[in-house]
Amino acid sequence: MSKPFCEGEYILLQLDRKRKYLVKLERGRRFHTHKGFIELDRIVDKPEGVMVESSMGVGFYAFRPSLWDYVESYERPTQILYPKDIGFILVYTDIGPGYRVLEAGVGSGALTSFLAYHVKPTGRVYGYDVNPKFIEVARRNLERTGLLEYVELKLGDIYKGVEESDVDVAILDVPSPWLALDSVYKSLKPGGFFVSFSPTINQIEKLVESMEAHRGFLVLAVLESFTRSYKVKKGETRPETTMIAHTGYLLFARRLSSRS
């Protein structure tokens, strides 16, 4: 049974599809929106999905935030991966409880959060980044989401090697993934999935070329994905006017048992 809201937890106040606020549920506090304020006291002990009216009489719904709700509220010094790309990675790699996943670079920790969520409680994400600022941001983001304990954040350069071996999956979002092929090959178990995300097609091309020379991987797919949202209303249904045209390309490969 969904338990009632407790003081101290984060909740989502949602006005409509696009306007939602991640709020810490504190006694005696008023949360201010452009549609009036909400007395948070009125939400404690209420069930999920409850409607509360603002001081201006506008209805907000209170939910427990989903992981994506948390991630959308992250501090973001870097571009983050979107659901369309995260979803593909989850489906193609079988990441689940107990998996040990190598990730570089961590950036703001968006993908890291989804990886941590799916490997917990017994798995681990080994998250590398060369930028100490990003490591700190990712730490704060993961902490608030309650997922930090499943992640080992490491300041380090994957091009130079990593400490882990025999990881189940390795995922790169770095500028020159071809420089990390040896590191990935050494740390990834035979048969393990290698995923690389790159904004330019040139990076993918150079990566594929380097992988062919390296001979330690079998490339399975290179793809990009798109999402188009709709405004749905009886007799007036149509796609939204604009969309994201590009985030990046995804490459999927598997590690061979030896460099053939």
Q: Which two tokens stand for residue 192?
A: 């393990």
Told to check if 55 binds its own copies by CB under 8 A, we report no
Q: Segment near its own copies (CB under 8 A), from 26-34, 127-135, 147-155, 222-230?
A: 222-230
CB nearer to its own copies: give 36 or 199. Answer: 199
Residue 240 C-alpha from the chain's centroid = 24
Residues 1-20 that bind its own copies (CB under 8 A): 1-2, 14, 17
Min separation Cβ 126 and its own copies, Å = 16
156 alpha carbon, distance to own chain's centre = 20
**Per CB under 8 A, does 57 bind its own copies?**
no
Q: Which of residues 59-98 bind its own copies (CB under 8 A)?
A: 59, 61, 63-64, 66-68, 83-84, 86-94, 96-97
Q: What is the dihedral angle through the alpha carbons of 146, 149, 155, 159, rounded to the nearest 10 degrees?
A: -100
100 binds its own copies (CB under 8 A): no
34 sits near its own copies (criterion: CB under 8 A): no
Distance CA 181, CA 189 (A): 13
For its own copies, the closer of residues 41 and 48 by Cβ is: 48
Specify the DSSP element, H or E, that contains 115: helix 110-119
Residue 209 makes contact with its own copies by CB under 8 A = yes
Beta-carbon contacts of 118 under 8 Å, excluding residues fewer than 6 positions away, are 90, 95, 96, 97, 99
- Compute the residue count for the chain: 260
Minimum gap (Å) between residue 128 Cβ and its own copies? 22
Residues 71 and 113: beta-carbon distance below 8 Å:
yes
Q: Write down the least CB distance from residue 145 to its own copies, Å.
A: 11
Is 44 an interacting residue with respect to its own copies (CB under 8 A)?
no
Task: Show the site string, 120-159: x = touches its own copies by CB under 8 A, - = not.
Answer: x---------------------------------------
- SS3 label, residue 170: strand
Contact status, residue 92 vs residue 67, Cβ threshold 8 Å: no
Contact between 193 and its own copies by CB under 8 A: the answer reads yes
